[in-house]
Structure 1
Amino acid sequence: MKAKERKAFIKQFVDEQGKVEIDELAEQLQVSQMTIRRDLTQLEAENQVIRTPGGAVPQKALIRETPYARKEVEQLQAKRKIAQKAIALIAPNSTILLDSGTTTLEVARLIKDRADLTVVTNDIKIAAELVHSSVTCIVTGGEVQPDVGALYGSQAQALIESIHVDLFLLGAHAVHAVSGIMAPTLEKARMKQLMIEAARETWLLCDSSKFEQKSFAHVSELNKVEGIITDKDQSLNGLEYYHETVIQVDLVE
């Protein structure tokens, strides 16, 4: 089978199966795994598939901004479990940055009685959650993104550039093994980049649906974060390819 025919077969097979492994393709086509890796690399460069640790998934449309009402209910159990694990990272008397998003909102709900903490956030929904709490809350200011409640723009960026914090809990719209952490807009990506720079330590909090996805704007390479907290998903393999420190929470106890 010629290379062109082989790649056409791989593309069709990936589209039909939804997710395939390199060893499976090598066996199907009776070629080396190195040949399959090379084919997958070329197919990804042509936007035909998305490479994953050990295989590939179909090329999907870029993940755009999700309506907030949908984000509030999607993967809710996973987000709550991730938040519960994340609060163990918050040391006494620390100052933390909470990224805008529904997973970090769950973190805010769990730390409301922590009078020793100072929280800086670019999310008015998180700020509203902390209004009647013991936490000292600082809001970045800036322009409000309609519906979502995230704050961005020069005023928000200036505040972040003027501070240094102990811990940043970062959210992501998409996480890709090669492209790294991604956001749906340039403004959100820039805010996240500045927050990473402002923090002594950054942890990525994201449910398993965010992996093997791409969005519009690059935020950071995965090696810029201390670790990742996500949920266990049987269909998600090879997380060590993303980062050497991945904490997976079990949704069933």
Structure 2
Amino acid sequence: MLPGERRNIIIDLALQDKRVLVSDLSREFGVTEETIRRDLEKLEKEGILTRTYGGAVISRHTSEDLPFNTRNSLNTDMKHSIALKAFDLISDGDTLMVDASSTTFELVKLLSNKRNLTIITNSVHLLHKFSTTALNIISSGGSLRHRSHSLVGAVACNTIERYHVDTVIISCKGIDLKNGITDSNEPESDLKRCMLRQASQIILLADHTKFDNTAFIRLSEIYQIDVLVTDCMPSEVWMNFFKENSVEVIY
């Protein structure tokens, strides 16, 4: 296993358990404790983990606002599963707005075979990755948020407000019965709210780990969403809630 792959698994474990131990990781990966300490040191320098005696912990803020490259390498199977389910919701000729999340990025990967699609986005990574495809891509412009490879601010919002599209596709950091749909930071939440106002249909992509979690900023009420695409069937309580609020659920 490559060191980068091992560190991604360590991040995944820390996100699940909130902390990891050097001795446990050493046994799991079959490497020395010194190797694990170097991994934890690197992840601490990247601002993802904080080392403690015998291991490391992950903070609430970090778990919500990981750098894009890190997020993009985590839970890839779940993201791909969600993207496949959402693919059929998009038709040739559609106009879309998509955010800078790693889950929506996974969906756009599949859309290259669709014809005459227009995508308006604040994702720098998406602009770069699909610059040579047939997709008609419009950049929001704006101020660069390095951590998430996204464009935000007044310029980005002003651009978004110039367009009306068929569908907006977003992800989030948490979805809770009481607190609604939440995200990790204010600038990106502001931009997503602008997107939500400019679409005939709103699609939320959220894997099962987002349920019953609340992040820093309220993004929207759940009833504002038209379609939720997730990787497995939500609980009965959630399914009843979605039915009462006229939210279509695809899993």
Question: Normalized against structure 2, the TM-score is what?
Answer: 0.70
Corresponding position of 1:206:
206
Alignment pair present for 1:246 and 2:245: no
Corresponding position of 1:122:
122
CA distance in 1: counterparts of 2:211 and 2:132, whole angstroms: 35
Structure number with greater CO (CA < 8 Å, separation at least 6) is 1
Corresponding position of 1:179:
179
Q: One-letter code of the match for 2:90?
A: I
CA contact (8 A) 2:66 2:147 kept: no
CA contact (8 A) 1:206 1:229 kept: yes
Matches within 5 A, 1:107-186: 107-186=107-186
Corresponding position of 2:21:
none
CA contact (8 A) 2:161 2:194 kept: yes
SS of residue matched to 1:213: coil
Q: One-letter code of the match for 1:114?
A: K
Where does the alignment leave 5 or more consecutive residues of structure 2 unmatched? 1-16, 18-58
Whichever of the two has the greater Rg, that structure is 1
CA contact (8 A) 2:122 2:156 kept: yes
Matches within 5 A, 1:6-155: 61=60, 64-155=64-155
Corresponding position of 2:43:
none
Q: One-letter code of the match for 2:242?
A: H
Following superposition, the deviation at residue 73 of structure 1 comes to 2.1
Where does the alignment leave 5 or more consecutive residues of structure 1 unmatched? 1-17, 19-59, 249-253
Deviations 1:96-130 (A, max 9, x none): 01111111111111112333100011101111121
Corresponding position of 1:15:
none
Question: Normalized against structure 1, the TM-score is what?
Answer: 0.70
Following superposition, the deviation at residue 242 of structure 1 comes to 4.6
SS of residue matched to 2:113: coil
CA distance in 2: counterparts of 1:93 and 1:233, whole angstroms: 30
Following superposition, the deviation at residue 217 of structure 1 comes to 0.8
Count, aligned residues: 189
CA contact (8 A) 1:121 1:138 kept: yes
**Distance change (3 Å), C-alpha of 1:241 and 1:144:** farther
CA distance in 1: counterparts of 2:152 and 2:168, whole angstroms: 17
Q: One-letter code of the match for 2:68?
A: Y
CA contact (8 A) 1:75 1:207 kept: no
CA distance in 2: counterparts of 1:242 and 1:154, whole angstroms: 35
CA distance in 2: counterparts of 1:243 and 1:189, whole angstroms: 22
Q: CA RMSD in A?
A: 2.0
